[in-house]
Copies of this chain bind each other. A is one copy, B any other.
Amino acid sequence: MPLARRTDLAVEATELWREEAGQTTRLEGVEARDSLREGYAVTTVRILNAQGAKALGKPVGTYVTLELSGLLRREEDAFPRAARALAAELQGLLDLPEGAPVLVAGLGNRAITPDGIGPKTADHTMVTRHLVEQLPEHFGAFRPVSALAAGVLGTTGMESGELVAAVVERIRPACVLAVDALASRSLRRVGRTVQLSDTGIIPGSGVGNARKALNRDSIGVPVIAIGVPTVVDAATLACDLLSEAGRGDLDPAALSGAGEGLVVTPKDVDAQVADLAKVIGYGINLALQPGLSLADIELLLS
């Protein structure tokens, strides 16, 4: 049975499937596993075959979700733990020869706060490609990393996938890390969850603008997607609030069309996006430059 409702998060798709199909039904072709990394809850969903892909409405591959709730509570070592957790999970998805070059692509619109997580992550990425080339005596041991804030169609006239493809063709990285904002079905995941996946990304799919895919098929190299839910859609919100208040269950689809043109975000979405972009940027840096500590990166970046 394919999933009636859609979500960007595999972990939510699994939950929805269970709701729809009933708790006792077994979801064939999908494995889910919970674990803990640096104190943060990690859920790994593996879609193993076409059956699982059809059920969850997502391509075959691995989807890792980190719940970074401690980050919001500003616990003392929350930031370094989160960056290290993200780096470790990312390394589990990467399969890169030492020194193979990587392109980090920040998707989305910097001018719209909840959509700016991609470009802001690119700001925190340690760019080294030019240093490795020009100063090999100092930077020879670094992995060459480039970064690109791919902008949006309205400001460039190009699909972000098109722009990334153009750059990939030119500089030939071994892998692309694509960072983007997602939509979640759940209020409690917004602004505190990161999904890593080895299946690539469809820019804008979370907010109803599915465009060209950005994956190995479209650009010829593996694409690791790093997605952060920063908005909930209005219909989902309405149904969740009803349910929370014990006013019955309603499917967001029943409200379809209502709330178009609205977005629901946390009040402190500015701070949440800033914090998460830094965690993801530093996590990427740790994963790509395994010889460096967080303190080294802080020094090199600032």
From A112, A128, A238, A239, name the one whose CB has the most chain B CB atoms within 10 angstroms.
A238
- Report B-chain residues with C-beta under 8 Å of the C-beta of A287: none
Q: Please, what's the 1-or-0 string for A224-255, where 1 marks a CB less than 8 Å from any CB in chain B? A: 00000000101101111110110100100011
* Residue A155, interface by CB 8 Å: yes
Q: Are B129 and A146 in contact (CB under 8 A)?
A: no
- Report B-chain residues with C-beta under 8 Å of the C-beta of A156: 127, 146-148
| Selected interface stretch from A47-55, A87-95, A158-166 | A158-166
List which A181-202 residues lie within 8 A (CB) of chain B: 187
- Report B-chain residues with C-beta under 8 Å of the C-beta of A12: none
Q: Are A263 and B265 in contact (CB under 8 A)?
A: yes
Q: For residue A241, give the distance in angstroms from its CB to the closest CB of chain B.
A: 4
Report the bound CA distance from A23 to B149 in whole Å. 51
- Report B-chain residues with C-beta under 8 Å of the C-beta of A33: none
- Report B-chain residues with C-beta under 8 Å of the C-beta of A159: 130
* Residue A135, interface by CB 8 Å: no
Identical chains in the assembly: 4
Q: Are B250 and A250 in contact (CB under 8 A)?
A: no
From A158, A275, A295, name the one whose CB has the most chain B CB atoms within 10 angstroms.
A158
Q: For residue A256, give the distance in angstroms from its CB to the closest CB of chain B.
A: 8
- Report B-chain residues with C-beta under 8 Å of the C-beta of A170: 162-163, 165-166, 169
Residue of B nearest to A113 (CB): B113
Q: Are A241 and B259 in contact (CB under 8 A)?
A: yes
Q: For residue A243, give the distance in angstroms from its CB to the closest CB of chain B.
A: 9
Residue of B nearest to A275 (CB): B302
Q: Are B244 and A241 in contact (CB under 8 A)?
A: no
Report the bound CA distance from A247 to B258 in whole Å. 12
* Residue A66, interface by CB 8 Å: no
Report the bound CA distance from A166 to B158 in whole Å. 13
- Report B-chain residues with C-beta under 8 Å of the C-beta of A237: 234, 237-238, 259, 262, 264
The one of B146, B158, B235, B264 that contacts A158, using a Cβ cutoff of 8 Å? B146
* Residue A292, interface by CB 8 Å: no
List which A134-175 residues lie within 8 A (CB) of chain B: 144-149, 151, 153-159, 162-163, 165-167, 169-171
Q: Please, what's the 1-or-0 string for A98-130, where 1 marks a CB less than 8 Å from any CB in chain B? A: 000000000000011100000000010001111
Q: For residue A265, give the distance in angstroms from its CB to the closest CB of chain B.
A: 6
Q: Are A171 and B145 in contact (CB under 8 A)?
A: no
- Report B-chain residues with C-beta under 8 Å of the C-beta of A153: 130
Assuming the contacts A111-B270, A254-B247, A255-B247, asked whether A76 and B242 have C-beta atoms less than 8 A apart, the reply is no
A-B pairs with lowest CB-CB distance, top 10: A129-B157, A166-B170, A146-B157, A238-B238, A127-B157, A238-B241, A241-B258, A166-B166, A245-B255, A244-B258
- What are 10 residue pairs bridging A and B, where the CB atoms are less than 8 Å apart in the complex? A74-B299, A111-B270, A163-B167, A166-B166, A234-B237, A238-B241, A240-B258, A241-B255, A241-B259, A245-B257
